[in-house]
Amino acid sequence: MKDFQQSEALKRLPDQFFAKLVKKLNTYQQQGHDLINLGQGNPDQPTPDHIVQSLQTAAENPVYHKYSPFQGFDYLKEAVTTYYKREYDVDLDPKSEVAILFGSKAGLVELSQCFLNPGDTALVPDPGYPDYWSGVALADAVMEPLPLLEENDFLPDYTKIDAETLEKAKLMFLNYPNNPTSAVANRDFFEKTIDVADKNDICVVHDFAYGAIGFDDEKPLSFLQVPEAKNVGVEIYTMSKTYNMAGWRIAFAVGNQSVVKALELIQDHYYVSLFGAVQEASATALLDSQKNVENLKDTYEHRRNLLSKGLREAGYEFTPCKGSFFMWLKVPEGYTSESFADALLDKVGLFVAPGIGFGTYGESYVRIGLNNSETQLRDAVKRFKQFKNS
């Protein structure tokens, strides 16, 4: 059988970090080990009933059995603008400032292909979501890290980025509430970001995947709430986390008109829009009662409090979890992030994500997810204590 050679673009792709994690997890599970999976960011709650029912009803509509409009139905874009006005007091033009995406991951990868030529520079948070790297690699561009350090509340310090790098950069990826550190951004930081981007002609891409998950009565700030944000970039919002619709693969980009136009252009060549019933159910999610969203946030906050208390009592160090459904745990002395993750898995059956998988500056940490029941998290605390005392 012929062995056809992959394109240079595919050869440039980084190893898929999460795929490797899942493969490792599956191997242990197949061997019959008693495991608690704290390593993934997969929402564990079902999609709310009223959204599922909206999908079921819409699926019977023969209009949706045909191809949908390439760039999505107008009613969904209008629902997005209503959502942003209600939640963030941000005004959007549904015709020119909203792009419907096949999940946020697809949009984040596409943006690099939209705006980066071979050799161009993209600023990427380190540690950060690994799929930012994939789009940059496919575009044959260059990544420059934005170090996220604890001493700066895991926000990039633009004064530490040399002027030449900023001048060369065309794209900047940001993500708050942050995966993996759980940090949140404030208005002052976003104002600095807009100033840097404006002066250097950088397109800002704010990944707002965890926008609904903020703790201690603090609602995460949308990038677009800050004046002039639309002038320099877009925000990517996914339905996955807010509404437990991870498997539905739907998201949207909002903001700068030229970026929205580019996204819709590239998607015109990749897809023929989402199934209409999914779009109608998504509009239902955005426009109907948000009580389920509030309950979900409370669920994650209770889980965070339980795990934080247990880990603190066991003597572990971790950064305060202010948003997202992750915790960023410091690795005990004598371990790397990978060796600590391996030791937890081998000795007490806890599966966590090593920080090095999120970038160089992720070393010395592991990421813990809050996507488990309180019963499982109590068991996890016992296992962390068992490991500490072993």
pLDDT tens-digit map of 363-377:
999 999 999 999 999
pLDDT at 294: 97
Domains, the chain, with CATH or none: 8-46+292-389 (3.90.1150.10), 51-287 (3.40.640.10)
**Residue 24 clears pLDDT 90, i.e. is over it:** no
pLDDT at 40: 84
Report d(CA 108, CA 209) in Å as an integer.
Answer: 11
Q: Using CA of residue 260, residue 266, residue 270, residue 273, what is the dihedral sign? A: positive
**Residue 19 clears pLDDT 80, i.e. is over it:** no
Residue whose structure tokens are 């976003």: 190
pLDDT at 26: 84
Average pLDDT of the chain to the nearest whole number: 96
Confidence of residue 296 (pLDDT cuts 50, 70, 90): very high
Least confident segment among 15-19, 101-105, 290-294? 15-19
Which of 43, 42, 31 shows the shortest CA–CA distance to 345?
31
**Residue 41 clears pLDDT 90, i.e. is over it:** no
Confidence of residue 238 (pLDDT cuts 50, 70, 90): very high
Report d(CA 178, CA 175) in Å as an integer.
Answer: 5
Report d(CA 251, CA 126) in Å as an integer.
Answer: 24
Other CB atoms within a 10 A radius of the CB of residue 270 amount to 10
Mean pLDDT of all residues in 66-90: 97
pTM of the model: 0.96
Confidence of residue 288 (pLDDT cuts 50, 70, 90): very high
Least confident segment among 24-28, 36-40, 117-121? 24-28
Token pair in block for residue 203: 């397109």
